[in-house]
Amino acid sequence: MSAAFKVVDLFAGAGGFTKGALMAGCEVKWAANHWPQAVSIHAANHPLTAHACQDLHQADWRTVPAHDLLLASPACQGHTPARGKEKPHHDAQRSTAWAVVSSMEYHRPAFGLVENVTNFANWALFPAWCAALHALGYAVSPHLIDSADHGVAQHRLRLFVVLSKSKNPVKLSLEKRPRVAAADIIDFRAGRWSPIERPGRAAATLRRIASGRAGFGDRFVMPYYGNGSGLTGRDIGRPLGTITTRARWGIVDGDHMRMLSRAENIAAMGFPANYILPASDREAQHMLGNAVVPQVACDLITALAKAA
C-alpha cells in the first residue's frame, strides 16, 4: 500500500527518513539540516527534494511547503548515555526538539513522526514537549522499534513518536520481518585483514578475541569499545549491535581480523549499496551512525497510512 503523503524532513542528515518515505510511496517536498555537508549528501541522493541549510530554530516556516506528514530526527547527543559526561552544549542539542513544535504549530500537518534514542523519553522536558503538542491538538504515541525486526542486520532500538490529529493515540501494528544475520552482509573475501598476533596489539583486544573464540569459534564479530558483547564477542548468526558514528565493529576470521568495511556498514544500516556518502570513511560513518534505518521508516509510514 502506498502512503502517498506529502512529507517534509527536519534534521534530515544522510537521508534515511527520506529514503524510507520514498520507499513507502511518499513525496518528500523539503528537507533541512544545519550541516552543509549533510545537506549536500542528501541533495545528491534526493535531487527532486527542495533543501535548506539552516538552524531550524531560526526557520521561517512560511517558506516550507505544505505537507501531510512531518518527519524529524532532533539531535540525540544530549539524550544518549553514550555522550559521556554531561556538558553545557547538551542543553542546546536537546532544545532542537522544540523545532518540531514550532513547525507543527504553523503547518498543522495531519501526522508527525519523530525519531530519537530511547532516553529521549527520559528528558526532563519531555512531558512539557508532549503537552505543547497536545495543546496543538495532537495525540502522542511513543513506539520502541528495533531495526532487527525490520529486515536489517542490526539491533538498533530507537524511539519513534507518532503524532496524530486524533482523539486517542495511534498504536501502529507492525509486522516483524525475518531477521538478517551479520554473516549475510559480511564479505570474508574482501577488506584489509591483519594478523591478530602482531606487535602492539592491545591486551584487552586479545582477551576479547580469546573470549569470542571460546564462545563462537573461529568467526565472530566484536566491538572495539562499549560493554556487553565488547567483552564476549558476538555470533555472526545473529544481527550486529548498533552501528555508531565511529567505526565500532571488528570481524575475526581465524588468525586475522579487520574492521567492518564501508560497504558492510551501509548494508547494516539498510541503505542501498549505491547510496552516495562522503568520500571520507570517517565522515560516511558519522552520517550512517546518525541515520534512520530506511526500512524502519518505510514500515512505520506504511502502517501509519493504513491507520489513517
- Whether residue 268 lies inside any domain: the answer is no
* Residues 98 and 28 reside in one and the same domain: yes
Q: Which residue has the cell 505543547?
A: 132
Residue 250 sits in which domain range?
Answer: 188-260
**Which of 26, 76, 130, 298 does the annotation list as catalytic?**
76
CATH of the domain at 148: 3.40.50.150
* Residues 19 and 139 reside in one and the same domain: yes
The total number of structural domains in the chain stands at 2
* Residues 108 and 13 reside in one and the same domain: yes
Q: Which of 268, 242, 291, 293 is nearest to 38 (CA)?
A: 291
- Whether residue 273 lies inside any domain: the answer is no
- Whether residue 276 lies inside any domain: the answer is no
List of the chain residues with pLDDT < 70: 1-2, 76-93, 226-230
Alpha-carbon gap, residue 192 to 213, rounded angstroms: 21
Q: Are the C-beta atoms of residues 138 and 108 closer than 8 Å to each other?
A: no
| 76 part of the active site | yes
- Whether residue 59 lies inside any domain: the answer is yes
Distance set, CA 97 to CA 46, 84, 94, 165 (Å): 24, 20, 6, 19
Residue 94: per-residue pLDDT = 73
* Residues 148 and 116 reside in one and the same domain: yes
Residue 157: per-residue pLDDT = 97
Burial call 82-121: b when 16+ CB within 10 Å, e when fewer: eeeeeeeebeebbebbbbbbebbeebebbbbbbbbbbbbe
Residue 232: per-residue pLDDT = 78
* Residues 22 and 63 reside in one and the same domain: yes
- Whether residue 1 lies inside any domain: the answer is no
Alpha-carbon gap, residue 94 to 77, rounded angstroms: 8
- Whether residue 265 lies inside any domain: the answer is no
* Residues 124 and 144 reside in one and the same domain: yes
* Residues 174 and 208 reside in one and the same domain: no
Output the pTM of the full model: 0.93
The per-residue pLDDT for range 206-219, each reduced to its tens digit, is 988 999 999 999 99
